[in-house]
Amino acid sequence: MIVTRYDLEKVCNYSENSKSSLPNGIIYYLEFVESDTEEYKNLVKSKRRDLTIDAILEDKVDEWNDSSETWEKDLDQEGYTRSISPQMKSIAVRSQKIVDNQSLYYDIVKKLELLTSQPMTNPQNINVTIKNDPNLTSYDNDQSNFRRIVSKIMMLNSMVAMDSRIGPANSMLVGLDVYMYLLKSNTFTIQNNGTTVTGNISGFDIIPSHLINPKKAILMRNSNKPGIGLNVINNINDSTYFMAETPGSWEKCIKWFEII
């Protein structure tokens, strides 16, 4: 399979530079920074903590998804204030050699695997436990586990939208074990257009990969310009590229979990 710009845009904030580049460079990006009153911050932390504890310990993921979309609006309506302002930030980067788009794609996916090799900062213990009830058929168990996976996906999708302030996730990189559960679902839409994207579910482009942990799923909000998350600039005339995650904020656009 030939890796194209379309495939690269699905796994990072990908852009191209046609001008001559130097060994060292700077990536400029825009980040939305919140400024809240202490009272508002404390209420947000308390509410999110309660919702997350229920979702993790009591398996109330659906309730988390339903309530997380409205509770911030309720706080605003009660008179608690906050402001969100854009700030221009930058990252110093060093160029790396590139052979072709496929080798660049592999480097990006391996970088994502490295970034997500530890549990998320918040919340932790977000993994999905696969269950096999002996009283159910194999099909019913698969569908039950699939629903657990999708519920967790939608929970993390809401978190991406809330944390990033630029929108929900738009692609998901999945290990092969997770991919097998998605394939067993009646709601998985398969597409075969010769790209790394093999299907769609709940609005996400699904990208299976043998380069990451087979039990892992990585949700991402990606763009075709630098932003918070993982940024890659391909210097197409120099056979080099810049790659860097935004310090302190990349996790706002990248969320992950594993099936156990």
Predicted confidence pLDDT, tens digits, the chain (260 residues): 799 999 999 999 999 999 988 999 999 999 988 765 566 667 766 777 777 776 666 666 666 565 555 555 555 555 555 677 889 999 999 999 999 999 999 999 999 999 999 989 877 678 999 999 999 999 999 989 999 999 999 999 999 998 998 999 999 999 999 999 998 887 788 887 889 999 988 788 999 999 999 999 999 999 999 999 999 999 999 999 999 999 999 999 999 999 99
Q: How far does CA 162 lie from the centroid of its chain?
A: 12
3-class DSSP state of 250: helix
Cβ count near 142 (within 10 Å) = 18
**Which residue is it, tokens 């496929």?**
102
Record the pTM: 0.83
What pairs with residue 32 in β-bridges?
86
- The CA-atom distances, in angstroms, between 13 and each of 27, 120, 209 are 11, 20, 18
The H or E element containing residue 171 is strand 171-174
Q: Which of 14, 44, 29 is nearest to 162 (CA)?
A: 44
Listed by start position, the domains of the chain span: 5-26+92-258
What contacts 92, CB < 8 A, 6 or more positions away?
24, 25, 26
| 3-class SS letters over 149-164 | HHHHHHHHHHHHHHHH
